[in-house]
Amino acid sequence: MARDVESLPPDDEVKRRIGRTVANTFAVLVSIGILVGWAYFGLYQLEPGENAVILRLGSYDRTVEEPGLKWHLPPPLESHEVVRADLVEREAFGFPQEGEPTATQRLEGVIQTKDNNIAHIGFVVQYQVKDAFFSRYRIADPRSMLRDTAQAAIREVIGRTSIDGVLTDQRGAVESETREQLQDLLDRYESGLLVNGIELQEVQPPPEVQGAFDDVIAAAQDRDRKINEAQGYANEVLPRARAEAAELRRAAEGYRDAKVVEAYGEADRFSALLVEYRKAPEVTRQRLYLETMEEVLPEVEKVIIEPGTTQVLPYLPLGKPATGGSR
């Protein structure tokens, strides 16, 4: 028992061991705290419609599109850039813009047409982000690039269209073709932008011929109104005419069926009469003759005289008028 007591370490050695343990534990806790704090800088929140572009050591790694609380490796290993992908923006052309000279605003809307006329055109481009990485890192100034590209696209399309078409019935085609042309250019430049639509809001001919083009537009509107009125009249008349035609067709079919049945009945009666005629030709012939005379002369009083009679007494009807009876 005395030997075990002598083998125990002195108090100073125990204190030193406890101190080292506490120091090691504290260092571990501090290290863990530092790591947790460093990892905290990798947390970020994405709202609906937002995209996050993740860069790893300065190079593109991925794009996160799902909303919610997200995490990536903390800086400087990875960093993120949030881009709004659901925001639809508008760019107007040919209208007054803040910070731009009046001459520049006017030149934006002056476009030459296929037939060498000058049209003053104001239009609006609606667009949004299609690829977050391209829109953030491929183009230095996306708005300026979009304006230049939109003007190039609409000038090319209108340069293939006559001024009459731009002012009247080809405006929809101009908008559609310009949108396709602009989207193709933006994709080739890897802009990451999506064109939602292009709307021509103001299309005016040169001031010198403004009155003539107003007359053309008014005539086109009158034409459309007349076409709509004619279409409405046709929609009213055609159903009625179709109903009348169907009614006449049914009446004709009924008349046809009645005549067919009547013809079959006449044929049957003739066949029956033929049988009787073959049995007694003279009697049948005489009866047919008398019946025919009744039909031919229905209002005339008739007198039948036996053949071979040598003397016929005059007959003067003094009674009531003849009623068509035979005697």
Interval 40-54 mean pLDDT:
84
296-321 per-position pLDDT tens digit: 777 777 666 666 655 655 555 555 55
Other C-beta atoms closer than 10 Å to the C-beta of 178 total 22
The token duo for 27 is 């260092």
Tell me what pLDDT residue 117 has: 81
- Phi, psi values for residue 63, rounded to 5°: -125, 125
146-181 per-position pLDDT tens digit: 999 999 999 999 989 888 788 777 888 999 999 999
Tell me what pLDDT residue 49 has: 84
Tell me what pLDDT residue 326 has: 43
Rounded-to-integer distance, Cα 148 and Cα 93, Å? 10
Asked whether 128 and 85 are in contact (CB, 8 A), the reply is yes
Dihedral sign computed on CA atoms, order 155, 161, 167, 169? negative
Rounded-to-integer distance, Cα 133 and Cα 53, Å? 6
Interval 19-36 mean pLDDT:
75
Give the chain's count of helices (H) and strands (E).
9, 9
> Residue 1: pLDDT band by 50, 70, 90 thresholds?
very low
Checking if the pLDDT of 235 tops 80, the result is yes
Model pTM score: 0.55
Is the peptide bond prior to 76 cis by the omega test (within 30 degrees of 0)? yes
Dihedral sign computed on CA atoms, order 103, 108, 110, 115? positive
The token duo for 288 is 């047919």
* Residue where the block lists tokens 């008398």: 290
Q: Rounded to 5, what percent of the chain is helix, strand, coil?
A: 55, 20, 25
247-272 per-position pLDDT tens digit: 999 999 999 999 999 899 888 888 88
